[in-house]
Amino acid sequence: MNNFFKLNNGINIPSIGFGTWQTPDGETAINAIKAAIESGYRHIDAAAVYKNEVGVGEGIKGCGIPREELFVTSKLWNTERGYESTLKAFEQTLNDLQLDYLDLYLIHWPANAQQFSNWKDLNSETWRAMEKLQSEGKIRSIGTSNFLPHHLEALLEKATITPAVNQIEYHPGFTQDECVAFCKKNNIVVQGWSPLGRGEVLDNATLITIANKYNKSVAQICIRWALQNEILPLPKSITPHRIKENFEVFDFEISSDDMTTINQLKNIGESGLNPDTVTF
Ligand code: A2P
């Protein structure tokens, strides 16, 4: 099992990212980042809409690890789509994080057809700004989040740079197979948000039986299962022992029979957020 995935531009990305969604700003965020770094994480997944980039940035600044050894992601929020507003929102994120470059910047959600008649152009204009920021060296890689194959197909029609990453909901019971296959075919690394189904898959009886067999927690099974499916998981926690536990997944392997059993679980822990119908 590699500790890195290789992006389509040759850059290595650490194979587990530390999620920060719903982490309160301030001391909680600072302490969560510190605990993550102490546990071995070097990849932090942030976003403007999480409203905690100041705390996340403080945590990064005080963690004692040189900037170039960290991989920091942020995401452009939906209200900031378009060329000029993307450039502006990016500067705000950089300021909040107290950084002078990002490793990865993602469009958080595609503009969808239900909300915007010009959704394709809107996504392409946002992308054009991201391409400019990458060409200026302010971002090392750019990507998307919550893009389904038809959103990616439309984006690729005008894109100069193929997204390095697409970040989607991914956990046992919700595997978005069609989207994953499309991304893999196009050499786009899939990152999984809510790899524990926001904690909702942790009491699933099948997963508990499998976890007991390996002497691991269900959370560790979910994270290891994502990795073995070549999906980059982004577990979130603010609890130090869980943060540590979620990174201790490199010392065992799930058998192919158990992988199949987990792959076949259906309809557990799904958020219900469909990129084609969300209204935010
Ligand atoms: P907390 O942050 O209070 O520790 P996901 O990453 O799928 O969105 O899941 C995040 C949720 O799962 C949070 O509520 C988090 O709680 C909880 N969680 C994270 N890691 C574990 C773990 N190892 N065991 C149990 N719950 C966990």
Task: Say whether pLDDT at 118 is over 80.
Answer: yes
CA–CA gap between residue 168 and residue 179 (Å, rounded): 9
3-state secondary structure of 175: coil
Q: Which atom of ligand 1 is nearest to the CA of 195?
A: 7
Q: Output phi, psi for 191, to 5 deg.
A: -100, 145
Q: Output phi, psi for 12, to 5 deg.
A: -85, 140
pLDDT value, residue 100: 97
pLDDT value, residue 260: 98
pLDDT value, residue 259: 98
Q: Whose CA is nearest to atom 22 of ligand 1?
A: 242
Q: For residue 14, what are its two tokens?
A: 């650490």
The residue-averaged pLDDT of 38-44 equals: 98
The residue-averaged pLDDT of 109-125 equals: 97
Distance 247 CA to ligand 1 centre (A): 13
Give the catalytic positions in this structure. 50
The residue-averaged pLDDT of 203-224 equals: 98
Beta sheet of 189-193, edge-to-edge order: 18-19, 43-45, 71-76, 102-107, 139-145, 165-169, 189-193, 232-234
- Average pLDDT over the chain, rounded to an integer: 97
CA–CA gap between residue 248 and residue 215 (Å, rounded): 12
- CATH number for the region 10-197+230-247 comes to 3.20.20.100
Q: Which atom of ligand 1 is nearest to the CA of 194?
A: 7
| Residue 219 · residue 245 · CB < 8 Å | yes
Confidence category of residue 141, pLDDT binned at 50, 70, 90: very high
| Residue 235 · residue 219 · CB < 8 Å | yes
pLDDT value, residue 79: 98
Residue 69 CB partners (closer than 8 Å, separation 6+): 42
Q: For residue 160, what are its two tokens?
A: 């100069």
| Residue 185 · residue 152 · CB < 8 Å | no
pLDDT tens profile 45-103: 999 999 999 999 999 999 999 999 999 999 999 999 999 999 999 999 999 999 999 99
CA–CA gap between residue 265 and residue 267 (Å, rounded): 7
Task: Say whether pLDDT at 1 is over 80.
Answer: no
| Residue 193 · residue 19 · CB < 8 Å | yes
Residues with CB under 6 Å of ligand 1 are 19, 194-199, 202, 217, 219, 235-239, 242, 245-246
